Structure 1
Amino acid sequence: MTRSLRYTLVSLREMLVSAGPLVLVMLGLLVAAYAWLQPNPPKRVVLATGPGQSAYDSFGQAYAKALARHGIQVELRASEGAAHNLALLREGEVDIGFVQGGSGGVNADDQAELVSLGSLFVEPLWLFYREDTARRLQQLPVTALSELKGWRVNVGTAGSGVPELFGRLLDANHIRPGELRLSRLEQTPATVAFLNGELDALVFASAPEAVMVQMLLQTPGVRLMPFPQAQAYARRLAFLTPVLLPQGVVDLARRLPPRDVPLVASTTSLLARADTHPALLQLVAQAAIELHSPPGWFNRAREYPNLAHGEVPVAREAERAIVNGPPLLQRYLPFWLANLIERMWLSLGLILALALPLSRVIPPLYSFRIRRRVFVWYAQLRDIEQRADTRPGEHAALLDELDTLEQHAEKIVLPLSYTDELYTLRQHIHVVRKKLQRGTAPTQPTEPSHEPR
């Protein structure tokens, strides 16, 4: 090993040893800040969806794929619908869920326990009826709820939220539930019964992407009841929005539907528990932008997700994502790294502010450790000098010790900038040797200055 390399290694080692305590303290503070802030989200989240083949189920699978790209596993929890999802959120059995406005009765406690990630899409109230039933009763076409008196109507399970929603519509029309023959079958068996003629009408709220909606809109002998008073419903019931199913939007070639159909719709939001990890809320909100911003039957491009129609407070992370889009760092870095920097930058700044003044002790400490390699030998040199004063007859033995001391001094390795310390030691050894050789009591050697460079 060359001398220059040895000098460099010695300097590097002493610098590492000098700075080591400060580095360990900073690392300890960083680990403590990480453990306290927990910047990275959990790797698993539970999402409440809805019945099989429903729009909630389809969107749930889309969210699972979107979050899987960032290493987040989404467990899909099937449910009866929006009201059931709200109950699961309240009980803490799921982290996130689709909830339809007006379907579950959001209460005051929900304002503190739940947050919204934005309104995602509208769910029209679809009321399909059999054409042969209306023709037999001479009520074709059906255009008002009052014309359904005495009909066999399925309104879905209580967990779907549709029974409560439909009940409020009946109440607004002064219709008692007993005036209809209501049933509460699940969506799939109810659809089978409806197609077999065992039911006269089906009521459910769903996005148009639902398989059942697509199928029934194109089934011969099945008609969709319009809501000509959609604007009035929206004025009476704040959670409802008037929407229009445009002519031909289902099938342009077959011109389905044959005319514009006014409908009423509730807005579906994505709700989460307030204690859900903030980074996870941000990631889900970004996935919502990706999945719900394209144009649809009832919305223009980038109309959803939005912050309107919220029944619970909007999460700050969701608001930032919807209003400003992805943070700057996430546009260039992987999500985990960008999120780590974004949530740790304040702690990093405080740690750096603490490290700067503490780092001022490193140069003096480094200088002390380098010079210590030299002046530790002054203790032995002083001992030789003192024994020479008290034991005049041992000068020969002391000269041998002094020769050994000089041999050790010649092997000391120092950075070039501190070589003068080594030469000073050797000079003092030479002074003591001359005095021993003269047989006189040597004066005490001058110790090197301990002032840091």
Structure 2
Amino acid sequence: MKALPRTLRLALLGLRDLLVSAGPLVLLPIAILAAAYWYLQPQPPTSLRLATGPAGSAYATFGQRYAEALRSHGITVELVPTDGSLDNLALLRQGGADAAFVRGGSADPVADEEAGLQSLGALFYEPLWIFYRPDALRPAQRRAGPLQSLAALQPLRVNVDKAGSGVPDILERMLRANRLDPAAMQISHLAQSPATEALAGGLLDVVVLASAPESPLVQRLLRAPGIALMDLRQSDAYTRLFPFLSSVRLPRGIVDLARDQPSEDVAMLAATTSLLVREQTHPALRQLLAQAAQGIHGGAGWFNRVRDFPNTRTSELPVSSEGDRAINGQPPFWQRYLPFWASNLVERMWLVLGGLLVLLLPLSRVVPPLYTFRVRRRVFRWYARLREIEARTNDADASPERLLEELDHLDRVVDKVAVPLSYADELYALRHNIHAARKRVLARRLDPGD
């Protein structure tokens, strides 16, 4: 094989010296970053289980919007249908879901906090809708006007949603506050969809459900002929008895301005629904969910103004740092310029990266002297051989011819030593010293009596 040109060989040799000198400095941060990546697991899983609610509910509708929002970041959201808030909470506690919509009043603030459940913020009001058929009222009730009190429900056929929704528990507490015994009433627990059909068909007199106004079933009942919405004039009193409830008003004309529907403000009660996550849910997924919540719930609604939601004021459980920053703070500047995976990597490992920078700055000063030592060592290693030959020059038993042969051999070896041009003076100095030693040996051979 043809030998490489000397210039190329010198360049490759210099590059090898530089790599060997700086190698430990390069391998150290790589090893630290690999260990930190393995320990911190900065990149999130590619899937997320979100517990929603029954088909046709606001929970199910919002779940679809979250799935679309996270899909753009490469995260697949598996929507888990449930009976409602209590089922969602149970799934979170058991690890069957990573995130879930949970209505206020459902969670146990002490036990669930200890279990590692956290909130990403309150998302929206979930009103308690009490729809009834006016033609099912007794003549005396009709003469009294629209229903305004839960006490009027006693003789009616009432459906209060399924047990997993949490609505039966809320209504039972409200009925007992009115000195009514739920066991003595005609209460059923059909799911929302069949209950809506039963109310429209006259098989039920009252349907009670809790859902955001975006729910298709709520929208249908608000516009259905022959069905009215209870105006709960005692709503403020209930908020004093049950702190997880808020008094809200359905504004006049909000359902249909052209038809002036409803024709007057309607007093209602509402709980605040939060997005809860498990402590084990990856921080990056919590961050994505909190950011998605800003876009999905940040606008004005029937019961709130712009930017009323999401908020951290009405959360029953501690708000995670990701939720608090998304709602009350500003995202890091790098999120504006980097894709999600890159910004997340910086977000999770910035402390490691900063520590490496602090460590490498002083260590980098070692590379130049180490490089110099390696190059000069290639030359200086032959000085030991030269000194040995010179020491034998004054030895009477040493043969000048033998010394000259050793010097010639040393000269040939040094002639093959390659060093960068910036260190060529070291090589020429060695060859000059070899030449000087040769002259002394020749002088001794010419004058053996010296």
TM-score by length of 2: 0.91
Letter in 1 for 2:217: M
TM superposition shift of 1:364: 2.0
Gaps of 5+ in 1: 443-453
Gaps of 5+ in 2: none
Name the counterpart of 2:245. Answer: 240
SS of the counterpart of 1:287? Answer: helix
Q: 1:365 aligns with which of 349, 363, 370?
A: 370
1:389 and 1:441 in contact (8 A); partners too: no
Letter in 2 for 1:119: A
Quick one: distance in 1 between partners of 2:383 and 2:335? 60
**Does 1:123 pair with 2:114?**
no
Name the counterpart of 2:193. Answer: 188
TM superposition shift of 1:339: 2.4
Quick one: distance in 2 between partners of 1:87 and 1:68? 26
**Does 1:132 pair with 2:118?**
no
Quick one: distance in 2 between partners of 1:29 and 1:362? 19
TM superposition shift of 1:208: 0.2
Q: Deviations over 1:130-169 (max 9, x none)?
A: 1221266743522211111121111011100000011111
Name the counterpart of 2:233. Answer: 228
Aligned residues: 441
Quick one: distance in 2 between partners of 1:229 and 1:430? 113
Distance 1:432 1:146, change over 3 A: same
TM superposition shift of 1:381: 3.5
Q: 2:163 aligns with which of 143, 153, 158?
A: 158
SS of the counterpart of 2:311? Answer: coil
TM superposition shift of 1:202: 0.6
Alignment of 1:392-403 (within 5 A): 395-396=400-401, 398-403=403-408
Q: 1:39 aligns with which of 42, 46, 50?
A: 42
Name the counterpart of 1:111. Answer: 113
Alignment of 1:172-187 (within 5 A): 172-187=177-192
Quick one: distance in 2 between partners of 1:137 and 1:181? 20
SS of the counterpart of 2:124? Answer: strand
Distance 1:317 1:121, change over 3 A: same
Question: After alignment, is 238-247 or 397-406 more displaced?
Answer: 397-406
SS of the counterpart of 1:255? Answer: coil
**Does 1:409 pair with 2:414?**
yes
Name the counterpart of 1:317. Answer: 322
2:53 and 2:82 in contact (8 A); partners too: yes
2:132 and 2:205 in contact (8 A); partners too: yes
Quick one: distance in 2 between partners of 1:52 and 1:395? 105
Q: 2:25 aligns with which of 19, 22, 32?
A: 22
1:89 and 1:96 in contact (8 A); partners too: yes
TM superposition shift of 1:31: 1.8
Name the counterpart of 2:91. Answer: 88
Quick one: distance in 1 between partners of 2:332 and 2:28? 31
Q: Deviations over 1:83-129 (max 9, x none)?
A: 11111111111111100012x24252112221111110001101111
Q: 1:64 aligns with which of 64, 67, 75?
A: 67
Q: 1:355 aligns with which of 347, 351, 360?
A: 360
Quick one: distance in 2 between partners of 1:121 and 1:68? 23
Quick one: distance in 1 between partners of 2:111 and 2:138? 48
Q: Deviations over 1:180-208 (max 9, x none)?
A: 20011111122222222111111100000
Distance 1:215 1:421, change over 3 A: same
SS of the counterpart of 1:360? Answer: helix
1:124 and 1:206 in contact (8 A); partners too: yes
SS of the counterpart of 1:438? Answer: helix
TM-score by length of 1: 0.91
TM superposition shift of 1:18: 0.4
TM superposition shift of 1:231: 1.4
Question: After alignment, is 306-315 or 24-33 more displaced?
Answer: 24-33
Q: Deviations over 1:21-69 (max 9, x none)?
A: 1221122122222222222322222111000111001111111111122
Letter in 1 for 2:130: L
Q: Deviations over 1:291-319 (max 9, x none)?
A: 00011111111110001222111112211
SS of the counterpart of 2:209? Answer: strand
Q: Deviations over 1:261-298 (max 9, x none)?
A: 11111110111112322222222111111100011111
Quick one: distance in 2 between partners of 1:256 and 1:24? 71
Quick one: distance in 1 between partners of 2:204 and 2:297? 34
Q: Deviations over 1:351-375 (max 9, x none)?
A: 2222233333222211111012212
Name the counterpart of 2:78. Answer: 75
Letter in 2 for 1:142: L
Q: 1:257 aligns with which of 246, 249, 262?
A: 262
Quick one: distance in 2 between partners of 1:420 and 1:178? 104
TM superposition shift of 1:404: 3.8
1:392 and 1:439 in contact (8 A); partners too: no
Quick one: distance in 1 between partners of 2:351 and 2:331? 20
Letter in 2 for 1:193: A
2:107 and 2:316 in contact (8 A); partners too: no
TM superposition shift of 1:335: 2.2
Q: Deviations over 1:192-232 (max 9, x none)?
A: 22222111111100000000000111111111111111111
**Does 1:270 pair with 2:286?**
no
SS of the counterpart of 2:437? Answer: helix
- Aligned-residue CA RMSD (Å): 2.3
1:286 and 1:325 in contact (8 A); partners too: no
Distance 1:33 1:261, change over 3 A: same
Distance 1:20 1:391, change over 3 A: farther
Q: Deviations over 1:234-286 (max 9, x none)?
A: 12211111111111111111221122111111110111112322222222111
1:153 and 1:202 in contact (8 A); partners too: yes
TM superposition shift of 1:379: 4.2
